Amino acid sequence: MKTVRYIQFFFANEKVSLNISYPKTYFKLNFNVMYQKKIIILDLLIMVLSLAVYRVLPLFAQGFMPMLSISIFAGAVIPNKKLAIALSLLSMLLSDFIFQFLFSKGMTNIAGFYQGQLVNYILFALLVIFGFALKKVNLKSVLLFSISGSLLYFVASNFVVWATHTGFSRPMTFGGLTMCYADAFAFYRDYGLVKGFAANFVLGDLIWSCLI
C-alpha cells in the first residue's frame, strides 16, 4: 500500500503539481522501531537509576529494595522476552559494580559481589518470566503481582539459604527449614522499614512497584 502526496508550487508563473508516492508501511515500521528503542533505553535508565538510588543512599531499611519490582516491571513492559531478562540482569550487574566501588571506598559495609550471587540472579530472571504474565498494567494487577512475586522470592531464596547450609546453617530437616524461614521473618521484623512488622519485604516491594 502506498500513500500519495501532492506538492504544488509556482515556476515561471505556472502552477506545477508533483505526485509523490511512498510506502506507508515503511514509515510506520520505522516509527515503531524507533519508539521501541526509546522505550528500551528508558526502561534501562529507570532500572539502573532505581537500583543506584537504593544502593547509594544507606537510609533504606532491609526489604526496601527495588530489584523484585524491576524484574516484574521488565517482564511486563518489554516486548522482547530475552531482552527483558537481559536488561533486568544488566541493571542489577551495573548496580552491583556501583555497590562494590562504594564498598572498596569504605562508603558502605556491604559488598556488591557476594556468595550465592549467581543463584540470586537466577531467581530474579525467573521473576522477569513471572512478569510476562502481567498483561494489563493497572493498580490491581500491579498489587497482585507485587505481593505474589514477593512471596515467591521469599520462599525460594530462603529455601536456597537452607539447602546450601548458609545463614545460620539450620539442620537439613523439615524443622530446620521452618527455622530458616523463621530467621528470615525475624530479620525483616527487626531491620525492616516498619519495626516489628515481619512482612517488611512485601511492603518494600509494594512501594517500589507503585513508584516504578
3-state secondary structure of 193: coil
> pTM for the full model?
0.70
Residues 24-69 have pLDDT tens digits of: 444 444 445 455 566 666 666 666 666 666 655 554 555 556 778 8
Neighbour count for residue 48 (Cβ, 10 Å): 19
Structure-derived torsion over alpha carbons of residues 112, 117, 118, 124, reported in degrees to the nearest 10? -90
- CA 155 – CA 206 distance, rounded (Å): 17
What is residue 7's three-state secondary structure? strand
pLDDT digits (tens, 9 = 90+) for 83-121: 889 888 887 888 788 778 878 888 777 778 888 788 889
Q: Looking at residue 148, what DSSP letter applies?
A: H
